[in-house]
Structure 1
Amino acid sequence: MARIRQPELTRAALLRAARQVVQDQGAALSLDAVARAAGVSKGGLLHHFPTRDALLQALALALVEQFREGLEAAYARERAEHGERPGAWLRAYITLTFCEEDEDTALHRALVPLAGQPALLAALAQAQVFLLERAEADGLPPGAAHAIRLACDGHWLAELTGQPRLSPAQTQAMQEALTAWTR
């Protein structure tokens, strides 16, 4: 009987395995470790991701997509609770930015060393163009919308790059100020 191939399911399993290996070992993961974690041969892994960089780029892009899905869910909750008012998308963005998820923070921190790869940065920039578009279309003045989004991004990036952390009270004050600017 012929084996049924499901390349998208295999790719998803490989990305889940890569995510776990990166969380455990950092961005210096080996393809052998990912293949073992996914239960496939190294050749099977290389069929889908011909290089380690290709695998890490796909993982980074999958994280962007996961964030986008979480953002859309937060936006739907914001609209359900408060209606379709200007600033709703940015309030969802703020909520997601200040949500503590240690597992994801550890994963993102492990991927920070990849920031020096121009091809990855270009792919990530392209994948995140929607942030500019959605912020500007949220009904607030464009300058305010981008300032709020960039403040959130700065907070998030500071966490990842080891910058001094805000105290819980400072973090709460920042979140409240940003949210107030959306109303």
Structure 2
Amino acid sequence: MATDTRTSIVQATFDLTLANGAVPSLDAVVRAAGVSKGGLLHHFPTRVALLRGLAHWLGAKSIAWFDDLCEKGSAVDAWLSASTPKSEEMNEVFVLFTCMQALRAAGETGDSDYGEFLDHVDRRIAEELTGPDAAQRALLIRLVGDGLFFGSLLGASVPEESRLALSARLASQEASKI
């Protein structure tokens, strides 16, 4: 039951953040999640704890989503595909950015739980690559994906056929000569 309550609280925080464009008050979360204030504070004693819980939840969802994409093809293609998010995925990005900005405003500047997701991506990509420079190439591929993602945010997406060609090139052993 505790896990369901915790998940309900985080889901309500996500939904309210998405709907209102800002992290909601604890009172708004209490109403939306259908829990008492004490119930909320039991799981998340502070607003910062709630925001960290939201970032952790989004990171875990991202890992599961990425792993699902990997099951359909290579990790390289999964990452470069994930780096051109669709509208539902953009909602999660928006909430994560809003959450991270609120954490920064609260003086929380340490690593986020979302870093676990990026570490996971790097590992999955490196596992598919060969050669002594696999970890370096995995990082390069992740950074290329970051660039695709930033371009997507600014409305400058790379065409699908170009992304697929880039994915094939970066995954090839010849990419180690880049």
TM-score category, normalised to shorter length? 0.7 to 0.9
Superposed, which structure 2 residues align to 1:40-79 within 5 Å? 40-78=35-73
Secondary structure class of the residue paired with 1:137: helix
Structure 2 residue 78 is matched with structure 1 residue 92: yes
- Partner Cα distance (2:166, 2:126) in 1: 16
The ranges of structure 1 where at least 4 consecutive aligned residues each deviate by more than 6 angstroms after the TM superposition are none
Check the 8 A contact 1:148/1:178 in 2, yes or no.
no
Aligned in 2, Cα 1:98/1:54: closer, same or farther, shift over 3 Å?
A: same
After TM superposition, give the deviation of residue 156 of structure 1 in Å.
2.6
CA RMSD of aligned residues (A): 2.4
> How many pairs align?
163
Aligned in 2, Cα 1:158/1:44: closer, same or farther, shift over 3 Å?
A: farther
Secondary structure class of the residue paired with 2:24: coil
- Partner Cα distance (1:73, 1:115) in 2: 29
The TM-score, its normalising length taken from structure 2, stands at 0.78
State the match for 1:103 in structure 2: 91
Check the 8 A contact 2:66/2:78 in 1, yes or no.
yes
Aligned in 2, Cα 1:73/1:62: closer, same or farther, shift over 3 Å?
A: same
The alignment-based identity, stated in percent, is 28
Deviations 1:84-133 (A, max 9, x none): xxxx11111112222313432332343341463224x2543345422222
Mark the runs of 5 or more structure 2 residues left unpaired by the alignment.
Answer: 173-178
The TM-score, its normalising length taken from structure 1, stands at 0.76
Superposed, which structure 2 residues align to 1:1-183 within 5 Å? 6-78=1-73, 88-101=74-87, 102-114=90-102, 116=104, 117-119=108-110, 121-126=111-116, 128-140=118-130, 141-157=134-150, 164-166=154-156, 168=157, 170-172=158-160, 175-180=163-168, 181-183=170-172
Mark the runs of 5 or more structure 1 residues left unpaired by the alignment.
Answer: 1-5, 79-87
